[in-house]
């Protein structure tokens, strides 16, 4: 009798007591990108085809603008045109889609995934400090590759995460671009931040922000091995 009573009490507690929060969802940088059903025809071109199409378009724009073309430029545009024809590249069709493709690429660079707003997540990235004292940082940019925003152009706004440590905590870092795993709550919020460089300040546009509860060292090579990849 006592055993049945104890079982009934435990079962009641299971349904009455609040369930603990689920573990943060592990995401990657591709999870921050919107899913847009669009076929970009320029992605199907080889590097050589892209080069000749770009060269052809640039010279033809100069001609349409009334510029006088040198014999060398005329020869170059004819060579590119002939190459593209032999490669069965639809020159006119692709050039007619340039504006449409440009707008779609711009949309894919800024749109966010609304379902992520307010989610508890953990994701990897590289640290670019914004507010720090010595080696301790309270505010940073999380970027997908080493050199982003300083040695290379900034990633698209939806490929940068502005991270603020919860409750003003400070986290000690080893240096710029330290690989880390960040745990916290992500929000779809657009903002811009000034990044101070040796040659001046740069405004960085960001479409995600995060309240971080934990930042831990991260080894990218170990992650690759865990996923069954190869170096």
Asked if residue 165 and residue 70 are part of one domain, the reply reads no
Find the angle CA(200)-CA(201)-CA(206) to the nearest 5 degrees. 155
State percent of the chain over pLDDT 90. 55
Same domain, 221 and 130: yes
Burial 141-172 (b: 16+ CB within 10 A, else e): bbbbeeebbeeeebbbbbbbbbbbbeeeeebe
CATH number at residue 153: 2.40.50.870
In terms of domains, do 146 and 97 share one? Answer: no
Name the average pLDDT for the chain. Answer: 83
Contact 182, 163 (CB under 8 A): yes
Higher pLDDT, 17 or 164: 164
Q: Residues 94, 41: contact at Cβ < 8 Å?
A: yes
- End-of-domain residue from the set 92, 109, 126: 109
For the chain, the domain total comes to: 2
The reply to whether 157 falls in a domain is yes
Which pLDDT tens digit goes with each residue over 153-198?
Answer: 889 999 999 999 887 777 777 778 899 999 999 999 999 988 876 5
Q: Please check whether residue 17 lies inside any domain of the structure.
A: no
Specify if 19 maps to a domain.
Answer: no
220 & 118 share domain: yes
Residues 61 and 99 in one domain: yes
Q: Is residue 24 part of a domain?
A: no
Question: Does 16 have pLDDT greater than 50?
Answer: no
Are 130 and 219 members of one domain?
A: yes
Domain that holds residue 122: 112-226
109, 126, 141 - which closes a domain: 109
* CA 121 and chain centroid, separation: 16
Q: Looking at the domain assignment, is residue 180 inside a domain?
A: yes
Name the residue with higher pLDDT: 65 or 148. Answer: 65
Which of 64, 89, 109 finishes a domain? 109
Q: Please indicate, yes or no, whether residues 54 and 133 belong to a single structural domain of this protein.
A: no
Residue 118: band (very low, low, confident or very high) from pLDDT cuts 50, 70, 90: very high
- Which has more confidence, 108 or 179? 179
148 in the same domain as 217: yes
User: Is 18 among the domain residues?
Assistant: no
Does one domain contain both 135 and 197?
yes
Whether residues 171 and 202 share a domain: the answer is yes
- Domain membership of residue 166 (yes or no) is yes
Q: Is residue 199 part of a domain?
A: yes
In this structure, the answer to whether residues 160 and 187 fall within a common structural domain is yes
Give yes or no: residues 206 and 128 share one domain. Answer: yes
């Amino acid at each position: 009798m006592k055993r049945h009573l104890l079982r009934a009490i435990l079962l009641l507690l299971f349904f009455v007591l609040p369930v603990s929060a689920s573990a943060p969802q592990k995401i990657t940088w591709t999870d921050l990108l919107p899913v847009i059903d669009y076929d970009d025809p320029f992605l199907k071109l080889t590097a050589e085809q892209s080069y000749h199409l770009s060269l052809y378009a640039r010279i033809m724009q100069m001609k349409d603008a009334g510029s006088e073309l040198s014999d060398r430029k005329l020869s170059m545009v004819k060579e590119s045109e002939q190459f593209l024809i032999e490669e069965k590249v639809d020159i006119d069709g692709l050039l007619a889609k340039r504006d449409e493709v440009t707008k779609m690429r711009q949309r894919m660079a800024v749109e966010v995934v609304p379902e992520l707003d307010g989610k508890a997540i953990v994701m990897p990235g590289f640290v670019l400090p914004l507010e720090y004292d010595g080696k301790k940082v309270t505010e940073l940019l999380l970027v997908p590759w080493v050199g982003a925003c300083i040695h290379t152009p900034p990633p698209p706004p939806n490929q940068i995460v502005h991270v603020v440590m919860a409750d003003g905590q400070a986290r000690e870092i080893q240096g710029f671009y330290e690989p880390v795993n960040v745990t916290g709550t992500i929000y779809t919020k657009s903002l811009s931040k000034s990044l101070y460089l040796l040659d001046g300040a740069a405004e960085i546009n960001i479409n995600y922000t995060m309240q971080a509860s934990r930042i831990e060292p991260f080894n990218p090579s170990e992650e690759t091995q865990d996923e069954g990849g190869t170096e």
